[in-house]
């Protein structure tokens, strides 16, 4: 009897397997999309959706991304776009947490906010959208607040944790927890035309003055949020693939003056 692997190999074209074949395999073998994609990678093949990644990522690296589990904390201006970018590039599992619902003031920058989603859970809305992009994703949405009582539980066992929060106290808690659990961490923050990102877990040094967050003073522009989200998503990929990151530095950017500066933390 033909196996799922042999079925996929027979129908692959130039090392890629398309959605039509994946759907056919799901029906033929009564399995989920994630099982099919897992089998595709294990057979040395790649889902066709990732073909345009191939000049930058190897098949082995794409497989590694599929096996990764990223925890995105905050699903607003940063977290929403970060989640979509990670889903599109091929991260296999995402856990999303955000206690809030979409409000009108989110419409200027939060990619999944629309008139139709006002009043809806941010985390659950993002999850629904990501599964429309790729049904093979494993996505868990949690409508809750991250705090001292649950941070360790959520962080434990993840491949990378992404800080898409707007509260410095919660940011430092998350970074501290990642350090304790030895989990990779990607930080990001924005305000007006400017922002910063890093993979350092030493955020107590960054927020030692107890600032409430630059966005409270400068607002949140859509292009600033998108730019920072792209930087953070890139840092997630580089972390997962063992590339150089920003463990002891902050990368500052200013979109008004078109400047980027790397500042050492120690």
Tell me the domains of the chain and their CATH numbers.
Answer: 4-57 (no CATH), 68-264 (3.40.50.720)
Lookup: tokens for 107: 């419409």
CA-based torsion, 182, 188, 189, 195: positive or negative: positive
CA gap 81, 49 in Å, rounded: 19
Q: Give CA separation, 242 vs 65, 117, 153, 209, 237, in Å.
A: 12, 37, 25, 33, 8
- Among residues 126, 110, 94, 246, the alpha carbon closest in space to that of 184 is found at 246
The reported pLDDT for the residue numbered 247 is 86
**Separation in Å, CA 129 to CA 88, 111, 124, 203:** 11, 11, 9, 31
The predicted structure's pLDDT at residue 124: 98
* pLDDT value at residue 173: 96
Residue 45 has φ and ψ, to the nearest 5°, of -105, 180
Tokens of 26: 């799901």
The predicted structure's pLDDT at residue 219: 86
Q: So what's the pLDDT on residue 83?
A: 98
What is the per-residue pLDDT for 14? 96
The beta strands (E) that lie in the chain are given as: 16-17, 46-47, 69-73, 93-97, 138-142, 160-163, 184-191, 194-198, 249-254, 259-264
Using alpha carbons, list the distances in angstroms from residue 188 to 57, 78, 97, 136, 182: 24, 8, 16, 28, 19
Contact 226, 182 (CB under 8 A): no
pLDDT at res. 204:
85
Positions in the chain short of pLDDT 50: none
What is the structure's pLDDT at 264? 85
What pLDDT does 213 receive?
Answer: 57
């Amino acid at each position: 009897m033909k196996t799922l692997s042999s079925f996929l190999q027979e129908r692959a074209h130039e090392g890629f397997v398309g959605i039509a074949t994946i759907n056919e395999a799901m029906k033929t073998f009564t399995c989920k999309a994630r099982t099919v994609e897992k089998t595709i990678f294990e057979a040395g093949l790649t889902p066709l959706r990732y073909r345009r990644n191939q000049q930058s990522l190897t098949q082995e690296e794409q497989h590694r991304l599929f096996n990764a589990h990223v925890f995105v904390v905050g699903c607003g201006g940063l977290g929403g776009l970060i989640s979509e970018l990670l889903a599109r590039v091929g991260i296999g599992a995402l856990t999303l947490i955000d206690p809030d619902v979409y409000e009108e003031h989110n419409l200027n920058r939060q990619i999944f906010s629309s008139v139709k989603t006002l009043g809806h859970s941010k985390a659950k809305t993002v999850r629904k959208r990501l599964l429309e992009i790729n049904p093979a994703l494993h996505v868990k949405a949690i409508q809750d607040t991250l705090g001292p009582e649950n941070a360790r539980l959520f962080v434990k066992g993840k491949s990378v944790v992404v800080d898409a929060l707007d509260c410095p106290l919660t940011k430092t808690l998350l970074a501290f927890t990642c350090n304790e659990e030895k989990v990779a961490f990607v930080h990001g923050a924005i305000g007006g035309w400017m922002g910063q990102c890093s993979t350092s877990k030493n955020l107590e040094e960054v927020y030692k003055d107890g600032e409430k967050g630059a966005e409270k003073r400068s607002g949140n522009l859509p292009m600033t949020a998108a730019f920072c989200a792209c930087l953070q998503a890139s840092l997630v990929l580089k972390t997962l693939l063992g590339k150089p990151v920003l463990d002891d530095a902050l990368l500052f950017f200013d979109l008004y003056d078109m400047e980027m500066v790397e500042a050492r933390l120690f």
